[in-house]
Structure 1
């Protein structure tokens, strides 16, 4: 398959990655929860593995240096054809570029940035690695949503940088919009006002597909993680917000049910 055949439309969420202190223990947790196996990934920034499901790459996990005490969180990466130009656009539109742009070997070129509300996200210019190559089965990233105080101002930032069209999310509350590319929703923004956690601030949330959300949430707790919101049904499907043993928060989703 050629690069042109697998090119991701700029702005499309294409990868999720997690940096932790205990790489081996984290692999054990997600392997038991989702059935992931792990392959070595680029080592330029330290030990890093790619999570694999049925031979297809779905996510990345890296190990933080012992002296780095950063928040442990899943990071959503948005595709770009030119990481350097996107980084410049992020700065011009009021965001901050904290890491890069830099090469991840032959895999591609990346940067880590934050929007004007402080939510961290990644930018990925695919080389040999274009991003996740499977979606839909349990254990794969199903959706990415920015949880922020209000969507209007930050929505303009993402529109300016990535060219999204915005539309109200069907069946949702008044400050919930979808980001669309080529008339296709690819991510969403959810303004939660004062319900935004003070200790977390604005953040991107990764949703992982689960065959049975209730059973998966119970498994999280049994593996040493925490259930932050009990399984419940929403317009998007059945969901539960959970955290892994190091505190990385994600949401389990059973689409449409």
Structure 2
């Protein structure tokens, strides 16, 4: 497999205090199965859909009190150089660059507004083995209260072109690598980001039926923040799991309406 273009989403993982609870929840809602925990790497546990690696979960490091959250990793050909650009453009490198055996090299960082994300320089672990299909990663968008900071930072760190939705008052931009749109950027609204919640990158996982998935989620103690609602990209919902990690669900087959027109930002 050829290396992914710089800045392309390539992996997602989340930290949970209750690892078995997370397995039961995501196993039911997304149909995931789980591999053996790797004690050598802090009980890092991969999740699979149809036998293909789609994400991972991990318990917190001893003494850590971090809120459960999904972390999206963006591809890099040189994690050290990416970390330097993060610092040079007002971001924070929280961890790394750190080599993870022969799997690859990781960086955990924050943009100037405090939005957490990961950087991954692939080794043996190249990233998602399945995408844009039920049970797998399909999309991500940066939901931020400080959109101008994001628009200055991310295209300076990664080779992103930027387009925006034409017309209207809705502030939504798309970051693209070449002709491929890889990440959305939404100016936060209360409907999608409660006042008490921090800005974050929302990771969307595809499902066969958004309404059925939401029903399973609520029965398992999850929270629905918005939706399910129809869109030209699919029927989606913004949700949270019982341990507080927010994410999105989307039925890619149920598309309603015409895609909005875009223009160069």
TM-score by length of 1: 0.92
Instruction: Kindly indicate whether residue 83 of structure 2 is the aligned counterpart of residue 87 of structure 1.
Output: yes
Change over 3 Å in CA distance of 1:43–1:122 after alignment to 2: farther
CA distance, structure 2, for counterparts of residue 173 and residue 50 of structure 1: 41
| Residue matched to 1:107 | 103
| Residue matched to 2:147 | 151
| Residue matched to 2:43 | 47
Q: Give the alignment of 1:57-68 within 5 angstroms.
A: 57-68=53-64
Residue 39 (structure 1) shift: 1.7
Q: Give the alignment of 1:64-83 within 5 angstroms.
A: 64-83=60-79
Q: Secondary structure at the match of 2:214?
A: helix
| Residue matched to 2:249 | 252
- For residues 150-200 of structure 1, the C-alpha deviation after alignment (integer angstroms, 9 at most, x for no partner) is 433311210010010000147985310110101110111011267753322
Q: Give the alignment of 1:2-41 within 5 angstroms.
A: 5-40=1-36
| Residue matched to 1:197 | 194
CA distance, structure 1, for counterparts of residue 168 and residue 214 of structure 2: 24
Change over 3 Å in CA distance of 1:105–1:215 after alignment to 2: same
| Residue matched to 2:259 | none
Change over 3 Å in CA distance of 1:100–1:140 after alignment to 2: same
| Residue matched to 2:124 | 128
Q: Secondary structure at the match of 1:241?
A: strand
Q: Secondary structure at the match of 2:98?
A: strand
Change over 3 Å in CA distance of 1:41–1:155 after alignment to 2: farther
CA distance, structure 1, for counterparts of residue 251 and residue 166 of structure 2: 18
Quick check: 162-171 or 80-89, which moved more?
Answer: 162-171
Count of residue pairs the alignment pairs up:
253
Match of 2:215 among 206, 218, 225: 218
